């Protein structure tokens, strides 16, 4: 999950929301029914919504959207516009959904959601659409649970191909949950003489596609850069068009990110950005080891930047404890930046001994005459990047290796 947030709810509130949700949709679907003396209300509902031979999957969308309601979605204002893949009981695979709603009047939002085998949903990333273009031969979106067949477990076709979203990148980045994207993008202001490289051919590799907001942003700032986004999930890649991220501004490769990096030539990449989490919302173990950081340093050009999105243990697993000692053992000085308003931390490092911490910060906080680079520098300051203490010396954690975490690169 890209952004780490905390939503405390009491049991009574959960029960109230659940009951209200069921009552709302029983009415919206026309299931509220004045029964005859031979057919009671419960029997009618069971017959209309779920037959005995149907699987428990019929109820999973309801469970999912109750999860999304706790994250601020309005139950009567959400539609599934894309559904792909199957969730595994082991948790290794998710069903990938794209849901659409309107957070406020005149605004359309699409969100990438992973759904587990038991129906629970977890938001991953999202974007705001400047507009939705409906093709003449396409099927219009319902915009409501009341007519969305997904509520009853029916198969839902991919509506994104006929309901095209033009991504509003600037507005998406101003959303409260997007601060981790701003802080990650800000690390590229640390590239040597970044202002002079505006028209250069930087090579940027990202691991983790999400909704594609970050590569779309960096294409605006570095229009001539060569960007490659590596995504393990074929279903997430298939969903890119739902967010307006399926154009030609960057390359998308369906592959294991760690293996992809190991296959790159030494000194061939200007920036490596890691925004990936496993089924337990942890940074994958293969990205926490000294072996990984040695690979990252090898493929980076002198002065190249590595940045990782990590959780801090506020509500989810403390990824910093896992990866920071290994990062420091390879790169020496490592920087930590906040994602304002979230429990995430951005870990950043620069390849090459010539980049000491003083130059590192001065370069990134210098003033640029370019509006895009100036914005990156402003976000860098907002994130309050600072040098991490020597965590191995303080006993914070130990340096992990591939062998220690049983990392097997696929």
Residue 410 is encoded by which pair of tokens?
Answer: 């696929």
Does the pLDDT of residue 379 top 50, yes or no? yes
> Tens digits of per-residue pLDDT, 124-158?
899 999 999 887 654 443 433 333 434 334 344 58
Does the pLDDT of residue 295 top 80, yes or no? yes
142 CB-contact burial (10 Å; exposed 0-12 / middle 13-18 / buried 19+): middle
Does the pLDDT of residue 310 top 70, yes or no? yes
pLDDT of residue 60: 57
Identify the weakest region by mean pLDDT among 92-96, 172-176, 233-237: 92-96
Does the pLDDT of residue 360 top 60, yes or no? no
**Report for 97-111, 149-163, 323-337: range of highest mean pLDDT:** 323-337
> Tens digits of per-residue pLDDT, 43-53?
433 333 333 33
pLDDT of residue 369: 57
Query: Are 359 and 194 within 8 A, CB to CB?
Result: no
- In angstroms, rounded to a whole number, what is the distance separating the alpha carbons of residues 410 and 43? 51
Answer with the residue of higher pLDDT: 88 or 183: 183
Cα 196 → chain centroid: 31
Does the pLDDT of residue 331 top 90, yes or no? yes
**Report for 69-83, 181-195, 204-218, 268-282: range of highest mean pLDDT:** 204-218
Identify the weakest region by mean pLDDT among 238-247, 335-344, 379-388: 238-247
Cα 199 → chain centroid: 28
Q: Are strands 344-350 and 300-311 parallel, antiparallel or unpaired?
A: antiparallel
Does the pLDDT of residue 266 top 70, yes or no? yes
Tell me the domains of the chain and their CATH numbers: 11-167 (no CATH), 171-387 (3.40.50.150)
pLDDT of residue 63: 77
Phi-psi group of 384: left, alpha or beta (phi > 0 → left; psi -120 to 50 → alpha; rest → beta): left
**Report for 41-45, 208-212, 392-396: range of highest mean pLDDT:** 208-212
- In angstroms, rounded to a whole number, what is the distance separating the alpha carbons of residues 29 and 19? 16
Answer with the residue of higher pLDDT: 371 or 117: 117
DSSP annotation string for 204-269: EEEE--TTSHHHHHHHHHSTT-EEEEEES-HHHHHGGGGGT--SSSSEEEES-HHHHHHTSPTT-E
- In angstroms, rounded to a whole number, what is the distance separating the alpha carbons of residues 345 and 308? 8
Q: pTM to 2 decimals?
A: 0.78
Report angle CA 150, 213, 85 to the nearest 5 degrees. 35
CB atoms under 10 Å from CB of 44, counted, come to: 16
Look at the chain and count its residues: 410
- In angstroms, rounded to a whole number, what is the distance separating the alpha carbons of residues 392 and 127? 38
Q: What is the DSSP letter of 116?
A: -
Question: What would the mean pLDDT of 300-328 be, rounded to a whole number?
Answer: 92
pLDDT of residue 228: 96
pLDDT of residue 293: 98
């Amino acid at each position: 999950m890209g952004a780490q947030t905390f939503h405390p709810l009491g049991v009574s509130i959960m029960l109230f929301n659940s009951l209200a949700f069921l009552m709302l949709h029983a009415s919206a679907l026309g299931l509220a029914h004045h029964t005859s003396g031979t057919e009671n209300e419960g029997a009618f509902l069971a017959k209309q919504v779920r037959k005995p031979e149907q699987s428990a999957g019929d109820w999973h969308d309801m469970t999912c959207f109750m999860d999304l309601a706790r994250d601020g979605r309005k139950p009567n204002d959400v539609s599934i516009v894309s559904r792909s893949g199957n969730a595994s009981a082991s948790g290794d695979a998710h069903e990938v959904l794209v849901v659409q709603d309107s957070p406020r009047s005149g605004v359309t939002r699409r969100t990438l959601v992973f759904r587990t085998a038991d129906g629970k949903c977890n938001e991953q990333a999202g974007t705001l659409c400047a507009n939705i273009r409906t093709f003449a031969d396409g099927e219009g979106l319902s915009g409501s649970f009341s007519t969305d067949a997904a509520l009853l477990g029916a198969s839902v076709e991919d509506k994104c191909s006929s309901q095209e979203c033009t991504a509003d990148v600037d507005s998406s980045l101003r959303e409260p949950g997007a601060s981790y994207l701003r802080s990650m993008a800000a690390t590229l202001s640390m590239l040597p003489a970044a202002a002079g490289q505006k028209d250069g051919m930087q090579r940027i590799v990202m691991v983790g596609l999400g909704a594609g907001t970050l590569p779309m942003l960096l294409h605006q700032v570095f229009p001539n850069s060569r960007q490659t986004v590596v995504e393990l999930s074929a279903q997430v890649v298939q969903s890119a068009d739902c967010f307006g991220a399926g154009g030609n501004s960057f390359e998308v490769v369906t592959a294991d990110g760690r293996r992809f990096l190991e296959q790159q030539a030494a000194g061939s990449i200007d920036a490596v950005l890691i925004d990936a989490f496993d089924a337990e919302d942890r940074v994958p173990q293969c990205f926490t080891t000294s072996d990984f950081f040695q690979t990252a340093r090898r493929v980076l050009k002198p002065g190249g930047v590595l940045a990782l999105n990590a959780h801090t243990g506020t509500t989810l697993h403390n990824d910093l404890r896992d990866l920071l000692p290994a990062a420091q053992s390879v790169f020496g000085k490592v920087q930590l930046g906040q994602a304002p308003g979230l429990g995430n931390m951005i870990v950043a490092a620069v390849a090459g001994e010539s980049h000491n911490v003083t130059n590192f910060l001065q370069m990134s906080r210098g003033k640029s005459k370019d509006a895009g680079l100036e914005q990156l520098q402003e976000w860098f300051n907002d994130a309050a990047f600072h040098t991490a203490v020597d965590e191995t010396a303080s006993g914070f954690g130990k340096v992990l290796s591939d062998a220690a975490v049983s990392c097997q690169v696929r």
